[in-house]
Amino acid sequence: MSLPKRTFDALVIGAGGGGLRAALQLAAADFKVAVVSKVFPTRSHTVAAQGGINAALGNVTPDNWYWHMYDTVKGSDYLGDQDAIEFMCRAAAQTVYELEHYGLPFSRLDNGKIYQRPFGGQSTELGQGQATRTCAAADRTGHAMLHTLYQQNIRAKTHFFDEFYAIDLVKDEEGYVLGAVALEIETGQPLLIEARATLLATGGAARIFRTSTNALINTGDGLGMALRAGIPLQDMEFFQFHPTGIAGVGNLISEAARGEGGYLINRLGERFMERHAPANKDLASRDIVSRAILVEIREGRGCGANNDHVLLKLDHLGADKITSRLPGVRDLARRFAHVDPIEAPIPVFPTAHYMMGGIPSNRHGQVVAPTVTGPEEPVPGLYAVGECACVSVHGANRLGGNSLLDIVVFGRAAGSHMLDYLRENPYPRPIPKDAPAPALARLARWERGGTGESIPEIREAMRRIMEEHCGVFRTGDSMQVGVDKMLALRERLAHAVLHDQSKIFNTARIEALELENMLETALASIVSACARAESRGAHSRVDFPARDDDNWLKHSLYFLAGTRLDYKPVRLKPLTVDSFPPLPRVY
Amino acid sequence: MRFSIYRYHPESGAKPVMQDYVLDIAPQGKMLLDAILALQESDPTLAVRRSCREGVCGSDAMNINGRNGLACVTPLADLKQPITLRPLPGLPVIRDLIVDLTQFYQQYRSIEPYLVNHDPEPEIERLQSPAERAELDGLYECILCACCSTACPSFWWNPDKFVGPAGLLQAYRFIADSRDQATNARLDDLEDPYRLFRCHSIMNCVAVCPKDLNPTEAIGKIKALLVNRTV
């Protein structure tokens, strides 16, 4: 069978905020850019981001990028790379203004400037007061951002491959990435998309957990593609549990609810964060608040008939504030928790939310991997940004409001670097005849008939392993059991079959391919977690409760071959300012 | 619970049929999408689009007991049985509950849905008062789910020529934005017997919008602007 081919200058895989921001940079410079997305672009998960985007505009309280940098380094529990963090925090204001010029409908202050609200883990003057740094469009900031970026790409005439599912990268012998093979979901036909530069912007993978704030499409597709291309994954043990998923269902209630003055209470009506984080209380970092909730529940102060959640109280804010600043939160609470926060508190529970780790990249968005010539060599022609990447600005724990910032700052930076790369590499390299073969073999594997386990069975088993063995609190023994179970499950997946072999819009086939990516992501996460014998940020070991900078101030690298781990140093040296040395992390 | 679901598999050569399903599920606190996902576990051939499962991405629009809506925010307990699910009306069906939205997206693109401002860009944000920004409320929240346009008889008749409620709502979103400078060009583009004036205020769009938006009102404002422009 001959494989149809389309040729572009650049290929962007994923149409969330990171992919669309990069595509815009490329299309606006008159390069031919293709965006491949398994869903129509505005259905990407950026749309669900609520609270806002951090930038030290100083519209409400005095602020500057350096304070933002300090908070981000501290929030990362010192695992973040300080060069990338300085780059992001310096770029934040300009990037937000640019979004405003694109038309993003930010909420406004009385003086006409962009509305900002306080968020967790942010401070003025290096930990002194509470900052007000998160720029917001009500509590629909991600929706407003994603639609605005899609609209600008319409203006720039970006070429979209909507509902195409990327299978695998295509490489030559020298390691240059030459594009990707994608499956047209509507027809079931594969397509080779040739490009001199390829960007992975495929988002997160928190669907590897049973209860998740994430969209069903967050299945780690870019992570699977990177692993199969021989690229390691970095810091995969660090998964953020958001303190306020709606209990039982997992839908996110934005940190904006606490930023606007809401707070958590236990069964006794106590504002328990006063005990766990005396200075910042409910606006401590997410890892701290999530653990505090679980401690309250474990010590018998949980709410409800089963004492299995806590309550997020908003009713004291008044109807006006809730309807103007938190309309989406109110909507979600009414629909999914069956309470109106104007009248009653919302039952919440820590819920898998965000992957700090991912495909190792640098501040230009280049994917970097160890080679014989050095520990962090760029993979030629390959870029990664956003949640699928690990640049690493979030380290061991991301601050609220920094993910929307991450995607636009590094989406823009990657787009700019790709422009340079395209100019330096003006002609496509020949695609070896057998280069697409691994991708096609991956597709062909699911055409095998016969009997075997179904996809939903194995998917559910994977999620239970992650929940049981790799949750908020972890122990070495339990994680080792989890690793063994996950390896056994991987074997079962290799023998699973697709019962529906039809071609046209076969969603079961897509789910099978997604599960392969999810399972490799889950394995990377639990193997990396099992090895890290310390507690740092979101990775909390009951058997190693302290941070251990002597032995573990380093990034994990997980390789698919042999499920092997390696490590590389944290980049503690910023671009221009002095390094923030690791200090005890107190909120 | 009992379901009757539109099934169409173009590869099979068979005509579309309504297939009955029975599902053992406690409806309390669950959404229709939960039931559909449970049905897929036993029948993986049943195809549906879905993503955010909370009403912000707009993927799982379908016709539910005769009315367009999003499966993920439709409480299961509120639905009369058998729960009858069909694809959004008026558009070509690709498979089962999945329709071809090309014409819907084309109409969205046709209104040039992006901010136009020719002034030099200031170093900071363009200023906009809270009152000016409030003009965008009820407009920018659209999720492009297509519930409204595919509930509109005018769109059924002329999906190639009538912009439809979703596209017109977005056209007005930019007209209403104090930062946009293309109002006259936008009005010129819509001053057309089909593009705008096929709207006869039937208001199906308002009745079905899962985000409680009001395209008819926005269309009325565009019409008023056109009238004011001529006097």
Decide if A102 and B114 are in contact by the 8 Å CB cutoff. Answer: yes
pLDDT tens per residue, range A443-499: 999 998 888 899 999 999 999 999 999 999 999 999 999 999 999 999 999 999 998
A190: enclosing H helix or E strand: strand A189-194
To test the contact with chain A by mutation, choose from B114, B144, B169, B213 the residue with the greatest count of A C-beta atoms within 10 A, namely B114
Cβ-proximal residues to A341 (8 Å cutoff; 6+ apart), any chain: A257, A262, A312, A314, A315, A322, A326, A329, A330, A333
- Per cent of chain A over pLDDT 70 is 100
- Selecting from A43, A336, A505 the residue whose C-beta is nearest the C-beta of B57 gives A43
- Which residues of chain B register pLDDT less than 50? none
The tally of CA atoms less than 13 A away on the side-chain side of residue A163 is 21
pLDDT in tens, A389-427: 999 999 999 999 999 999 999 999 999 999 999 999 999
Burial B175-209 (b: 16+ CB within 10 A, else e): bbbebbebeeebbebbeeeebbebbeeebbbbebb
Query: Prior bond to A430 cis, omega within 30?
Result: no
Compute the nearest-CA separation of B127 from chain A (Å): 5
pLDDT for B231: 74
Mean pLDDT of chain A: 97
Contact predicate B146/A135, CB 8 Å: no
Gap from A214 CA to chain B (nearest CA, Å): 7
Region A257-283: mean pLDDT is: 97
Q: What is the pLDDT of residue A450?
A: 85
- Residue carrying structure tokens 């195409």: A164
| pLDDT score of B174 | 98
Q: DSSP of A107-154, one letter per residue?
A: -B-TTSSBPEE--TT-EETTTTEE---EE-STT-HHHHHHHHHHHHHH
Q: State the pLDDT confidence band at A220, using cuts at 50, 70 and 90.
A: very high
Residues of A in contact with B124 (CB under 8 A): 57, 97, 113
pLDDT at A372: 84
pLDDT for res A553: 98
Taking CB atoms and an 8 Å limit, are A155 and B29 in contact across chains? no
Interchain proximity A48–B56, CB inside 8 Å:
yes
What are A346's strand-pairing partners? A312
pLDDT for the residue numbered A209: 97
- A338 and B123: CB-CB below 8 Å? no
Q: Nearest-CA distance from B115 to chain A in Å? A: 5
Q: Which residues of B touch A109 (CB under 8 A)?
A: 130
pLDDT digits (tens, 9 = 90+) for A548-579: 999 999 999 999 999 999 999 999 999 999 99
Active site residue A463: no
Q: Kindly state the average pLDDT of the residues A91-119.
A: 98
pTM of the model: 0.97
Tell me whether residues B44 and A500 touch, CB distance under 8 A. yes
The tokens for B182 are 């293309």
Q: Say whether pLDDT at A377 is over 70.
A: yes
Distance CA A398, CA A383 (A): 21
Size of interface A-B (CB pairs under 8 A): 152
B74-89: per-residue pLDDT in tens? 999 999 999 999 999 9
Q: Which residue of A has its CA nearest to B55?
A: A332
| pLDDT bracket for residue A9 (50, 70, 90) | very high
Query: What is the model's pLDDT at position B230?
Result: 83
The residue count for chain A: 587
* Residues of A with Cβ-Cβ distance to B11 under 8 angstroms: 502-504
Please tell me the distance from the alpha carbon of residue A408 to that of residue A159, in angstroms, as a whole number.
20
Whole-number Å distance between alpha carbons of A538 and A471: 10
Which of B11, B98, B126 is the closest to A101 by Cβ?
Answer: B126
Confidence of residue A2 (pLDDT cuts 50, 70, 90): confident
- Annotated catalytic residue: which of A207, A286, A325, A532? A286
- Residue A1 confidence (pLDDT) above 70: no
Nearest to A97 among B59, B125, B177 (CB): B125
